[in-house]
Amino acid sequence: MHVGGPIPAAARPPAALRVENCAFFLDVDGTLLEFSPRPDAVSADAALRELLERLRLRSGGALALVSGRSIATLDSMFAPLRLPAAGLHGFEHRNAAGVLTMQQPPVRHMLDDARRQMEQWVRTHPQLMLEDKGSALALHYRRVPKLESAVVDAVLAIAQRVRGSGLQVQRGHMVVELTPAGVSKASAVAAFMAEAPFAGRQPLFAGDDLTDEPAFEWVNEAGGMSVAVSTDRPTAARTHLDSVDEVRGWLAALLA
C-alpha cells in the first residue's frame, strides 16, 4: 500500500491547505488501515508510521489518533510510534505531553454483567467476536453479516438491562459496542483543540464510520476540514476519499 504516488485530481488536497496550520485528527480502522476479519490482527506498517511521523513533525506535533480502540491497543499497533490519542471514542485522552486522563468509568458490576451476556452470545454464535476493551465491549459480526439485526437487538436489550451503568450503544462498521456514556469523537477533538499544540489551528478530521459523524459536525462548525473515507451513506463530511490507500496518498500530497 503506497503512501505517495498519483491520486485522482478530484481527491487531491486543496492547494491552500498547509500542514503547518493544521491540527490532524485521524481515525484508524477503515481510514489509515484496512479492516480485518480479526481486529486484534491489525498493525501499522512501516510506511504508514513514517508518514504519520512526518506529518507530526511538520505540524509541530498537532496530530492525534482518534479511535474506538483503547490507547494501549493503539500504542501496540503503531509501536514504536507513540502519538497523542483519544481512545474508546473519547473516554481516554493522552495529550501531546503524554499525560493520560479518563472520563467517569462505567459501573463495574454492570459492565461485568453486560460482558457475561455478550460472551453468551459468542458461545451461541462462534463466528461472532467479542472485543473486550476494558471499559467498553464490542461485538463484531463481520464474519457473519446475516446476524446484524439479531446482534443489534441483543446489544440494545443488554443496554436496557444494565441501564444506569454509564454505558451507551454505539453502532459501527460490522460492530455494535457498549461504550462509556457522555463521550464522542467530537468531545475528543474539542478537548485536543483546547490545548497545545492543537489550539489555534485549523482542525482536520478523517474517518469512515458512523461514530465519526459527531467529529465531522464539530470540525465543520469550527471552520475545519472533514474527510469521509469509503462511505456511500449520508454524511456530514464535506470531503470524500474512496479508500485507505487514497487517504494515505492525500496525506502524503500535503507534505509534497
Contact 113, 125 (CB under 8 A): no
Give the 3-state secondary structure of residue 118.
helix
**Judging by DSSP bridges, how do beta strands 175-180 and 225-229 pair with one another?**
unpaired
Cβ-based neighbours of 143, under 8 Å, separated by 6 or more: 37, 127, 128, 129
- The string over 28-39, giving b where at least 16 C-beta atoms fall within 10 Å of a residue's C-beta and e elsewhere, is bbbbbbebeeeb
Note if 27 is an active site residue. Answer: yes
The CA-atom distances, in angstroms, between 13 and each of 57, 173, 176, 251 are 19, 26, 33, 8
Sheet holding 225-229, edge to edge: 100-102, 92-94, 85-87, 63-66, 22-26, 202-207, 225-229, 239-241
Query: Active-site residues: which are they?
Result: 27
